Structure 1
Amino acid sequence: MATTLAVRPPCRTEPTAYEALKRHFAEHPDAHPLHPHKWDVSRSDIYAEDRWQPIFADMRAAGPLHYIDDSPFGPYWAVVQHKAIQHIEALPELFSSSWEHGGITIINRMSDDELAAAGLERFELPMFIAMDRPKHTGQRRTVAPKFTPSAMDDMEAEIRARTGEVLDRLPRGEVFDWVETVSIELTTGMLAILFGFPWEDRRLLTFWSDWAGDTELATVRDLDPTRRAVLREMAAYFMSLWGERARGEGGDDLISMMIHSDAMNQQSPEEFMGNLVLLIVGGNDTTRNTMSGIIHAFDRFPDQRKLFETRPDLIPNAVQECIRYQTPLAHMRRTCTEDTEQFGQHIRKGDKVILWYLSANRDETVFEAADKLDITRENARRHLAFGYGIHRCVGARLAELQLRVLLEEMHRRRLRVHVAGDVERVRANFVHGFRKLEVEVTQF
């Protein structure tokens, strides 16, 4: 679909979020926040260096949740056991997701004094995952038909064809970046299809996703103006698409579904922006990082890669196990709405409660040998990577479909992928994944 837009393409004039952060910390080598508490798992270095596992294991052994009284994001409760996270997710009135209480990430809302000192106005991005009932229900119901089993059946042939095209273009006999060549290309293309987004501009979706979803940016106040400008440019681009769809007959893309929904067709600009961020980050970062995580995990556990190669019937379960093992979103936040006693701990009204899905998916009381990839694991589906309860990921079926098709098409081509160069992980406490994964392709 051709679209003419009077919007500056930000990816051609602005640095990526990663480049901006790298430049900032290079210029300010002492600017990384201090984390004095030994169990402060909000620190991004433990994820970049892949050394978070023993910290969470110690916390789980000591109890289901712990109060972290000092962090760069303020005090918070760290919920680390599988059962405790399910319990709290099942109490959405008591543990709010609303943006008005702080939203779904560990990031703090800036105070009025902080905003004034920075010369900024308040900038909130409401989105339906960061809303409580009943508003959450109506907005989620608007987009849910795009992710039903029948909708997945309709999309599978196109996903399979695009996946095959990407795999067939992979170079042989040379090292390349799997993240850039496969994971980003497949997930960004899928987002473009869901939004009816101009294909030639699809990499803008990756650019916006990184600026919107990187919690490390929240520790760098100097980057706030750039981040806001990027998100406003994103909104301007999508508003042009909104106007185009509103003037036409519409279709079954996500923008047209919003236009024709009573729950979403009167959104404020900020709410529209927030829901775009939700759908872009939710549809891009999560599947992208699991597509990379599968390759890294198979290389780390060659016995499981061999099992995948000899037992293609295990692919559906392998998808669930790889999602569990990778857990592409490390946490979600809730805010306590009234004083309560949970698991022997007194949680006060207003307390920040962080649900560490990354830890729940390594809970030894649920998953035997939890730090090992096991594609025959009988209870792999018990993972909490998609959340639990009313906020469970609306696009979970699509993610599962994309991952299943990727493994099936790799198997059909007898592709074996070896890690053969640099491995760079995302430095963040929210998105858990890979910045770079250099590989080489052979055949089995």
Structure 2
Amino acid sequence: MTNSSAVASLWLRSQLQAGRAATWLLSELGDLVVQLEHPRWRDDPYPLYEQIRQRGPLYRGLSGTWATSSFAVCNQVLRDRRFGVQRVDGRAQGGLLGAPVPAPPEGFVELDPPDHTRLRRLAMPAFNPKRLEAYRPRVQSIVDSLLAKVAGRESLDLVRDLGTPLPITVISDLLGIPDAERGAFAEFGEVVIEGFNGVSSMRQAREVTAVTEHLVALFDRLLRERAVEPGDDVISTLAAAVGEERMTARELHGTAMLLLVAGFETTVNLIGNGMRALLEHPEQWARLRAEPELAAAAVEEALRYDSPVQSTSRVAHTEIELAGQTIKPGQTVVAILAGGNRDAQAYERPEQFDITRSAGPEHLAFASGIHYCLGARLARIEGEIVFRTLAERMPSLRLVGRPERRDTSAIRGLRTLPVTVAQRGQ
């Protein structure tokens, strides 16, 4: 190890230790914002969101960070251009307490205008609604192929056997990732996503760094190849933009990494969380089996009821009056999207899972404002096809064993969802 590497390692280790100590102390003193990342709330964070809501529309923790689980205030924060995703000095945000995280190339979701606007516009053609609707047969074909592999089995894991390989295949197709490179993408996505909360160990820091370096090398190679032989894929489109000097190679790396990870994590968690909710509410699963055309509505209710992205944060770039409080420049507001999605001021019976729900505003699962999820339509299509196909072909699905949850808080999903499959006539 070089002297500079040793110093960096010691610095990171000291920061991790200091961060853990500060988190523990603030949590013990009752800071509800810090508790958002505490493992004890990982299985069911919704009571904590309600505690924060009971403190008022905007709550400030001892750490100085603000938080809201009010639907109206979350929506206001997400839409207000005076808030940004970057700090006032232009740096990316860390964890709630500024926990150090390895710095991969930034995607546009981590940038403010004008860079956010420029890069998002370059990626948008690949996610044109008309183009995505035309992709439905391909998604159905992938689902059919995955279910054919488990045909005749009495048990399967809906996350590992279906929820994970489907979005990896779909987003890899759209990006133009070679088949030979896709095998480890589920593991890569898991490592990167678990780093979103801030690294908790030197091992995790090394894993995130290694995965980032691997993906950057892959995207750099594809950039060079597509510059010579472009195809009908996203990386070819971005490579053309690099050639025309509308984006840099590093910006391509960050955009491609963002689309790969976001295209994977949103959909796999939608499928896992949604199917768990359906199977834990037998009357709703029975309703979907009887009326498979409710699959699109079931997707929306699954997203509202147990959102894949639980929270996001914004930094005030100027002094802002919000919900009767003054937010100073540089202060952070955590918008608890999942809390807003269960706000009784926005939804009737918010704690009830109901796939026939028709009243209420559009949920915040895909955020709002200029950072509204670019891949929202794609995730909806994949979820709808999965829910409908399972209701039609595996109507006797039942949960068995205990699902394993992922070790993240801001991103909520399952590693496993074991089910039994009773064949027709049994």
TM-score (norm 2): 0.86
Provide the rounded CA distance (Å) in 2 between the counterparts of 1:254 and 1:298: 34
Q: 1:204 aligns with which of 184, 188, 209?
A: 184
Deviation of residue 252 (structure 1)?
A: 2.6
1:391 maps to what in 2?
371
Provide the rounded CA distance (Å) in 1 between the counterparts of 2:302 and 2:113: 32
2:397 maps to what in 1?
417
Provide the rounded CA distance (Å) in 2 between the counterparts of 1:310 and 1:123: 48
Deviation of residue 393 (structure 1)?
A: 0.4
Gaps of 5+ in 2: 1-12
Amino acid at match of 1:427: D
2:306 maps to what in 1?
326
2:37 maps to what in 1?
43
Alignment of 1:251-270 (within 5 A): 251-261=231-241, 267-268=247-248, 270=250
2:221 maps to what in 1?
240
- Tell me how large the CA RMSD over aligned residues is: 2.6
1:430 maps to what in 2?
410
2:10 maps to what in 1?
none
Q: 1:223 aligns with which of 195, 204, 207?
A: 204
1:375 maps to what in 2?
355
Q: 1:85 aligns with which of 74, 80, 91?
A: 74
Provide the rounded CA distance (Å) in 2 between the counterparts of 1:374 and 1:39: 29
Provide the rounded CA distance (Å) in 2 between the counterparts of 1:103 and 1:334: 11
State the number of aligned residues. 400
Q: 1:60 aligns with which of 53, 56, 81?
A: 53
Provide the rounded CA distance (Å) in 1 between the counterparts of 2:388 and 2:99: 46
Deviations 1:379-438 (A, max 9, x none): 366110001011100111101111111122223324332111231111212210101111
Amino acid at match of 1:236: A
TM-score (norm 1): 0.83
178-187 vs 374-383, which moves further = 374-383
2:170 maps to what in 1?
190
Gaps of 5+ in 1: 1-23, 116-121
Change (3 A) 1:324 1:263: farther
1:97 maps to what in 2?
85
Provide the rounded CA distance (Å) in 2 between the counterparts of 1:204 and 1:155: 24
Provide the rounded CA distance (Å) in 1 between the counterparts of 2:53 and 2:394: 40
Deviation of residue 340 (structure 1)?
A: 2.0
Amino acid at match of 1:98: Q
Change (3 A) 1:265 1:238: farther
Alignment of 1:140-159 (within 5 A): 140-159=120-139
Provide the rounded CA distance (Å) in 1 between the counterparts of 2:365 and 2:244: 27
Provide the rounded CA distance (Å) in 2 between the counterparts of 1:296 and 1:104: 32
1:341 maps to what in 2?
321
Deviation of residue 245 (structure 1)?
A: 0.7
CA contact (8 A) 1:335 1:351 kept: yes
Change (3 A) 1:124 1:434: closer
Deviation of residue 253 (structure 1)?
A: 1.1
Deviation of residue 224 (structure 1)?
A: 2.1
Amino acid at match of 1:345: Q
Provide the rounded CA distance (Å) in 1 between the counterparts of 2:96 and 2:266: 19
Deviation of residue 274 (structure 1)?
A: 2.6
Amino acid at match of 2:49: F
Amino acid at match of 1:324: R
